[in-house]
Structure 1
Amino acid sequence: MAVVTNCDAAATENPEPLLSYTLTTDPDPLKASPEHAEEPVTGQLLIAGSRAARPPMDVEWIKVKVPAGEMAPDLAKAENPRTTLDGWTGRLNAATKEFEFTPTGAYGTIGPDTGFTIQLSRLPINHKVGTAPITIPERSRTGDDPFANRSTTFNGGEVTLTWERSDIGEFELLYGQTSERVTDTTRTITGITADTAFYLRGTAGDPSNPVIRTLTAHVTVNKPHLTTGNLEVQGAANLIGRPTELLTVWPNDPKTSESSLSTKAVD
């Protein structure tokens, strides 16, 4: 068994971020562009931000650093970056390859009741398959403290599998929705964001009556990304960064069984 830790903490040389962020992509995962395509495949990043603690904070700027590979000049083809922060604007800094979001004044104030989103649309994706860290620097402070640079990085973990095999037979590696034939004895899998079971299946002998052997490895991810249909919680549930109550609201009309779900901030 292996353990993979997703990196979503501040850089060690900077203080902890004052804002909490979550990152989603559309599509999920992003698709690599065909190697010889005239135009790259595009994708969208959607970042949700919030102030997890009660004291309001001041922010001079928020940036989103997207790694620029072989298609770095194509970043300029992305649509204008947008944010729901009132009075803030976004732009691409062509020199640093960063998307910068700034308020109209010297700084903006974000309190615990202010949630916001940052949207980067039609980002060009290069043809290399793998993971890329998305970094969100912020320059912020609380009270009369001096402004400081802080940073959050999102990146899926990776795991390297190694095995021994004979020269006879065919071998297949299976995990998640992936099934691929392998001819070597090692493979590095990137972008592991949840607990994953890996299966190496070897097949040899007469195709009408083959001999099959399967090896299994399980990878556990600390702080995994989870997607679930139905969720039952026995006891209290807090959503972090900002604690939130989930409230089921039943309609007054007894003829319908439909219900809605709303949220309420916890003081």
Structure 2
Amino acid sequence: MEERLFDDGCVMVIGGSGGIGSGVAQEFAHAGTDVAICYHSRKEAAEDAAALVEAAGRQASVHKVDVQDAASVAAALDDACATHRRVHSLVWGAGPLVDQVLLSETSAEQFRRAMEVEVFGFFNAMKAVLPLMRDAGGGSIVHLGSAGDSWWPPRDGLSVAPKATNEALIRGIAREEGRHEIRANSVLVGVIEAGMFLELTRKGVFTEEWVTEVQKNLGLKRWGKPADIGAAATFLCSRKANYITGQQISVSGGYGV
């Protein structure tokens, strides 16, 4: 009999309507678990992601969430538990489109917005899910961070700095919640052919010169795919990673090596 990778219940993907989030949701479905897909404004994209999960033979649910509102996050978790019985894993992949600016040119308003969505949003999700995971006897949290955590990419501070705070929170969860069989890890995301990368490319933010410079710092001279992130997140949440916590996996083609 094939080993089951997950307990009954679902993984909740916050940011599941995005290009990377949808790919992550599909990988979890292929690995054999139901998926609760959370979105902020892109309902149709979330429903499309849910359809792909169901095409893979798993149940999907869609939940509108404002991550800056703790009550909204808690309500989405309650709805997901009502549909799937429990949330065994949470993947954090939410975040706004990131302006590419030097730190010296970053406004206080831009920085505050980034911190409120990514850091306080993740904090709200953490606070809501931990009691549920404790009651269920354990669980897994995966944060989709930035490969810039280990090699600073100029002009990407509005993404890297908030995610660095969340990296510290992940280590804190791993340290404090391990006694409850709750694990917490990060996937450091490199340049992925989806979501923000494609949108900023269309807007002309990422030029051919930018591509040349970034690829100089890659071991693999190609961009990643959403499924690459999904594979890492799925592994970290699965029973195959049952003794891994407080760690990072950089899925970035060797960025900065």
Q: TM-score, normalised by structure 1?
A: 0.25
Task: Select the structure that is richer in strand.
Answer: 1
Q: TM-score, normalised by structure 2?
A: 0.25
State which structure, 1 or 2, has the greater radius of gyration over its C-alpha atoms. 1
